[in-house]
Structure 1
Amino acid sequence: MCCSGFLKIMMFVFNGGIFLAGAAIMGVGIWVKVDSNSLFGLLENVKNVPPELSQLVYVSYLLIGVGAVLLIIGFLGCCGAMRESRCMLLTFFCIVLIIFLVEVAGAVVLLVFRNVAEDLLKTLETDVRDSIRKDYGDQEGLTSLWNTTMEQFKCCGYNNYTDFNGSPFNLKDGKNLYPTMCCNSTNTNTCSENMATMSEVEGCFQKLLDWIESNATIIAGVALGIVALEIAAMVVSMVLYKNIGSKA
């Protein structure tokens, strides 16, 4: 009886962790979906985008789906332990096992993507620069999206300020202007060419690589924690399943 009660408490701990992790993952997925002013929104304005990068737009749906499933199995595990239902515990074990296998596959994909992300993004360089030089300062949607991106990531252009050379904004009134985000000075409403300040502002390409790297590490850490909880939960659920069966 004491052992059974301890196992139930363990199920609550494990499934409580899974439930909270699911809520966190779903929250991140919803945030990614709602946050339309991200660098990925720029892909819609660039031709010849590699299919691999286009798929990143759907990452929010994946996160929401995984989070929702984790919420369900967390609830299911608690109910199965409290009600001592073998059917619920077996269902819980099967669902967690499937999620575990999917997460392992996802981790492999993430590791592979981290290695090829730079090469994929480099293939966009020419098309992104052409898009900037053709439409920045003329097309309101693209201009606003680039401005928001540069403000959020504290960057300038794809590689640097020279990406804006020849753009409608740059040639406006013959003043050779650049976006204010490309200047280190925050006390000016305009930004003309000044090598001493603009050359120091990092391009958004490198900023995006840094963002992918830092977030991939965070996601990997969270995933390892979830995997540990899932393995423990599967072990405990099977022990409870066996104990309930022996009572019958």
Structure 2
Amino acid sequence: MGAAAAAGGGGKGLEAEDSLLSYYCIKFALSAYATLFSLIGLVILCIGIYAEVERQKHRTLEGIFLAPAVILLLLGLTMFAVSFIGMVGSLRDNRTLTGTFFCVLLAIFIIELLLLLVEIIFERQMNAVFHSTIQDGIRHYYDDLDFKNILDFVQQKFSCCGGDEFKDWHVNPYHSCNSTGPLACGVPYTCCIKQAPGEVMNTLCGYRTLNKERLELVDTIHVRGCIHAVGFWLKDNFEASFGIVCSLLLPQFLLPYPLSRKIWHWLRGIHEISVRQHSL
């Protein structure tokens, strides 16, 4: 009987040791993950602060879609705050902070999925919002370097011009057909169809194009709007788009969510045992 009891006690001891080892492995895995992402968030936040300080010197636009610095600030602040809560909660075995980290992660994941669904379901309405925002950016094209660089890159990368179509450039005071300058009734050279490799780009290739019909310009400039061009690219490259979305969503949820949930349940169990012992 004594030997059997000793064997049973030894078995329970080994089980407790294994459970404790599992707890510490999960705890330090979550701590390492949260520390890494808090550092990444801090770096993004610092870059966003620097970019926003520079942007404020020449700021003319209010739309958040036109302010990459603001997006970096929000992203960096969110990443740092949430990851820091998870890091402190796991290191300190704090049930409240761990539970907060767990709930915030779940809320962020659900919000991201909802935004993705809204974009898919209300594609036309979202395109209208983007069109309005891009038109506002085109209006101040030469005043906001951030937006100018983004739009130039998109127009060249996706072979497009303007937001909805190339005639969106009418809203820019320099490109409007009512203007008297050299850019009047034209589009930027980034709208032009690429020449042969090695050939010097004619920066006035978009001269006097806004008062012409689309068919007259098919060999000169890209007449398709960038909203449609990017949309078609995403649909044509669905697998790549899906992979990008998964690579953004899953790392922030797949590992920390189950780890923080497991730790929270362990801490709750320890708390309940402690309460019962004090009540005896």
Structure 1 Cα separation of the partners of residues 146 and 257 of structure 2: 40
Match in the other structure for 1:68: 80
The 5 A counterparts of 1:64-143 are 64-80=76-92, 88-115=93-120, 116-122=122-128, 125=131, 132=138, 140-141=142-143
Structure 2 Cα separation of the partners of residues 108 and 190 of structure 1: 44
Structure 2 Cα separation of the partners of residues 112 and 146 of structure 1: 27
With normalisation by structure 2, the TM-score equals 0.58
Structure 1 Cα separation of the partners of residues 253 and 243 of structure 2: 15
Distance 1:65 1:123, change over 3 A: closer
Structure 2 Cα separation of the partners of residues 239 and 131 of structure 1: 52
**1:14 aligned to 13, 27, 30, which one?**
30
Shift of residue 30 of structure 1? 5.7
Shift of residue 12 of structure 1? 0.9
Shift of residue 181 of structure 1? 0.5
Distance 1:201 1:16, change over 3 A: farther
- Do the aligned residues in 2 keep the contact of 1:22 with 1:71 (CA within 8 Å)? yes
Distance 1:156 1:73, change over 3 A: same
Structure 2 Cα separation of the partners of residues 127 and 233 of structure 1: 39
Where structure 2 has 5 or more consecutive residues not aligned to the other structure, the ranges are 1-16, 210-215
- Per-residue CA distance 1:36-77 (angstroms, 9 max, x = gap): 699xx99937xxx8xx979x9965454233212233233224
**1:200 aligned to 205, 222, 238, which one?**
222
The 5 A counterparts of 1:1-248 are 1-25=17-41, 27-28=43-44, 44=61, 59-80=71-92, 88-115=93-120, 116-122=122-128, 125=131, 132=138, 140-141=142-143, 144=145, 147-153=148-154, 154=156, 155-165=160-170, 168-169=174-175, 172-173=181-182, 177-183=186-192, 184-185=194-195, 187-191=201-205, 192=207, 193=209, 195-200=217-222, 202-206=224-228, 209=231, 218=244, 221-228=247-254, 229-239=256-266, 242=269
With normalisation by structure 1, the TM-score equals 0.64
Shift of residue 141 of structure 1? 0.9
- Per-residue CA distance 1:155-209 (angstroms, 9 max, x = gap): 4222343333585336524875431101123522322347244443653323565
Distance 1:53 1:126, change over 3 A: closer
Structure 2: which amino acid aligns with 1:44?
L
Structure 1 Cα separation of the partners of residues 99 and 272 of structure 2: 17
Higher relative contact order (CA 8 A, sep 6+): 1
Give RMSD over aligned pairs: 4.6
Distance 1:127 1:9, change over 3 A: closer
Percentage of identical aligned residues: 12
Shift of residue 235 of structure 1? 0.9
Structure 2 Cα separation of the partners of residues 78 and 27 of structure 1: 22
More helix by share: 1
- Do the aligned residues in 1 keep the contact of 2:174 with 2:183 (CA within 8 Å)? no
Structure 1 Cα separation of the partners of residues 242 and 70 of structure 2: 16
Count of paired positions? 228
Match in the other structure for 1:83: none
Q: Say which one has the larger Rg.
A: 2
Structure 1 Cα separation of the partners of residues 181 and 165 of structure 2: 19
Shift of residue 151 of structure 1? 2.0
- Per-residue CA distance 1:100-147 (angstroms, 9 max, x = gap): 342244134322332235423325647865985xx57xx8415x5654
Shift of residue 90 of structure 1? 1.1
Distance 1:172 1:33, change over 3 A: same
